[in-house]
Amino acid sequence: MLDLHSLKFHISPLIYLMLFLTLIPSISPTHSDDSKSPLTVCTSLKSGKQFISKTGGCNERIYETRDWYGEGAVPTGTPGSRLIALNLCTSIKSQIRLIREKCNPRTQLSDTYQRSYGPPAAPLVPSATADLLGSAFLSFDEPEVDGGALISSYTITSTPGAITSLVAPKDINRAKITGLTPGVTYRFSITATNSQGTSLASPSSEAMLAPNLPDAPSITSLILTGDNSARLHYDQTKFDGGAAISSYKATITSSGIVVATRQLSPGVLELTGLPYSTTLSISLSARNIAGSSIASNASNSITTATPPPPPPPEPEPSPTPSSSAAPSPSAPAFTLSSSTEDVTVNTAATGFTITSTGGVIASFAISPAAPAGMSFNTSTGAFSGTPTATQSATTYTITATNATGSATQTFSFTVSAAVISVAAIGGVTAPVKDATPVTTVTAANGYTGTVTWSGSPTTFAAVTTYTATITLTADDGYTITGVSENFFTVAGATSVTHSANSGVITAVFPATEFYAIGGTGPGGGTIFYVAETDFNCGPSLTLSCRYLEAAPITGSTAWTDAGYQWSGNVSTSVNGALQTGIGTGYSNTLAIVAQSSTAERAATKAQSYRGPNNLSDWYLPSQNELYQMLGIVPLDGRYWTSTQYNGVSGNARLYIFNISISPNTASLGGGGKTQLNKVRPIRAFGGP
């Protein structure tokens, strides 16, 4: 017997409303009554009370909205769903509608309405981002169909490891999973759960490396540069844990006090605010998104200066002389706040300020003139700004003048070139068969550069390992001197090496593939998948393949999309066709045809295709193989896969593609095997 309380139906105090629901054991369609408009029922999320909407809508903030349909007009439900029904009694005289178990045949008309009730559809592909050590954040969209019952939770599952995390619906934009093993690459899938069960798993996310803690950096020297400031030189972390280093922390080893730092250049930190009159050493730790490394070895020791003496007390004012004669003015005298500075180009300079120690100063002058980007105030004597060009140590004479005379001080100012600090070299990409080699790097980050390739190819050949020699030239205001060994990086290269202080970089790339995505395969089709390593394929998954190609849709033997039933047997599960992975479609197809070889069905049609080069190993793609075509092969509409819907013998997996929006989308679903859905044959093959 149906538990009405579990469905939270209540009697309204204003309208006597009896709701009778009957679970329908079969989802076989009945005769459609097109004369019935859908019935919208609003259920309070707080009290569970219900009413029939007059407008066809409900306030989504406080009500759950469900549409009920005439018998035979119910949209297809999610896999494993069933139909529930309600009886609507309409007064012949007043047209008032009530939901009751039985109607009075003399005064009321009776109508039956139904809707689907089952587990949710599978969520869409999630997106994963690494977080602190052993954890990650995922974001994903809720399923397009909740199965007719509100989703109560989602479950994240990792591959490998089957690590799971339960997620509340409100957290789908930032769902956290913990317990990951650092250094392991994971993919994640999502299932949705409502009161009627759990959905199928979503397609897996893109691969994500769970980062490890970085190795400790290695300190090379600690040099005192001021009374209580120093420069720390270090070798950058050799292993970054799989995630970029975001910062370094310097700590006094004897006290554990963290020191204020400023990055001057790669491998050089400025330390300020050190305690006075102290002999100390420094340890250094590196931090990435996963956390901080252990502390480095202690540096050499330095001893800071004694603190400066307090300023002298102000002198007592002299008594006013009795004579009416005016006092004689004093000659000017002054000091500078600093006598020397070495600053990096395009970095704000500290400069200096004036402290007068003699007579009132009327004006100031500087010789030679202040360099580009710097200014000198003739009223206050302040020297400030941001230098825009390099210059060697230059001595400036500052002159203070009043009516009595003048006084001078000198200041030495050096503007050094900035050490190049951006490691990634842009514009150089991994070689691809038939592509034209690049000859220059992207001009940015303080340098330009040229690229030459081993063998001097006009275009890249297949199955060939290439080495690029990149020669960088620093822009004005920048220098390569100070760049540490193997500092630069090149995307896609297997190794990148260079000497310290050198702009000549050697980048070795992996061997080019014989076939490239978008190219033509040996069967005459379009290459849409190239694996990093070989995958199992063939009739019994004992062969090794690396590529997938899809049947061409142009040319004399082009494939034409048309609608086909999945198989000649539409009621029995094909247990040998449950596989979803890359390379399994051939095995699935053979299992389907072995059960039923009826012609003009999805599996037999794909198997019988021969293509432009008359090859006999075309087949219906598996679930994951078909998904790889997204954005590469033009597909639009509903396409069969060779994957049997697990647990629903009369259904098979399909994808719904949409190429009318950018980027193209594909949503995974299931359909009855009698449906007429499109087919796109593929074939798997190895290298040349």
**Same structural domain for residues 275 and 297?**
yes
Tokens read off for 181: 């093993």
pLDDT score of 321? 55
Instruction: Estimate to the nearest angstrom the gap between the alpha carbon of 412 and the chain centroid.
Output: 49
pLDDT surpassing 90 at residue 97: no
Mean pLDDT of the chain: 87
What is the rounded distance in angstroms from the CA atom of residue 108 to the CA atom of residue 18? 15
Domain range for 233: 218-303
In a domain, residue 312? The reply is: no
Q: Which residues pair with 668 in a beta bridge?
A: 655
In a domain, residue 32? The reply is: no
Q: What is the CATH number of the domain that holds 291?
A: 2.60.40.10
In a domain, residue 154? The reply is: yes
pLDDT score of 9? 37
**Same structural domain for residues 202 and 149?**
yes
pLDDT surpassing 50 at residue 164: yes
Helices (H) and strands (E) in the chain, counts: 3, 45
Confidence band, pLDDT 50/70/90 cuts, at residue 687: confident
Provide mean pLDDT across the span 587-611.
96
What is the rounded distance in angstroms from the CA atom of residue 383 to the CA atom of residue 335? 13
Q: Which of 512, 544, 563 is the last residue of a domain?
A: 512
Provide mean pLDDT across the span 244-266.
92
SS3 label, residue 587: helix
Number of domains making up the chain: 4
Provide mean pLDDT across the span 135-160.
93
pLDDT score of 332? 92
What is the rounded distance in angstroms from the CA atom of residue 310 to the CA atom of residue 305? 15
Helices marked H in 185-309: none
Residue pair 534/686 in contact (Cβ under 8 Å)? The answer is yes
pTM metric for this prediction: 0.40
**CB crowding 73-107: b at 16 or more within 10 Å, else e:** bbeebbbbbbbbbbbbbeeeeeeebbbbeebeeee
End-to-end CA distance of the chain: 65
Q: Which residues pair with 557 in a beta bridge?
A: none
Q: Which of 210, 244, 277 is the last residue of a domain?
A: 210
In a domain, residue 105? The reply is: no
Q: Which of 512, 527, 544 is the last residue of a domain?
A: 512
**Same structural domain for residues 451 and 431?**
yes
pLDDT score of 659? 66
In terms of Cα–Cα distance, which of 60, 39, 35 is closest to 51?
39
- Radius of gyration over every alpha carbon of the chain, rounded to an integer in angstroms: 38
Residue pair 286/266 in contact (Cβ under 8 Å)? The answer is no
Provide mean pLDDT across the span 665-682.
91
User: 673: which DSSP letter?
Assistant: T
Confidence band, pLDDT 50/70/90 cuts, at residue 5: very low
In a domain, residue 434? The reply is: yes
Provide mean pLDDT across the span 463-491.
92
Residue pair 267/189 in contact (Cβ under 8 Å)? The answer is no
**Same structural domain for residues 430 and 443?**
yes
**Same structural domain for residues 401 and 429?**
no
**Same structural domain for residues 278 and 360?**
no
pLDDT surpassing 60 at residue 20: no
Cβ atoms within 10 Å, residue 123: 24
Cβ atoms within 10 Å, residue 563: 13
User: 122: which DSSP letter?
Assistant: P
In a domain, residue 157? The reply is: yes
pLDDT score of 316? 65
In a domain, residue 440? The reply is: yes
Long-range pairs of 374-378 with CB within 8 A, sequence gap ≥ 24: 374/349, 374/413
In a domain, residue 141? The reply is: yes
What is the rounded distance in angstroms from the CA atom of residue 635 to the CA atom of residue 631? 9
What is the rounded distance in angstroms from the CA atom of residue 607 to the CA atom of residue 577? 15
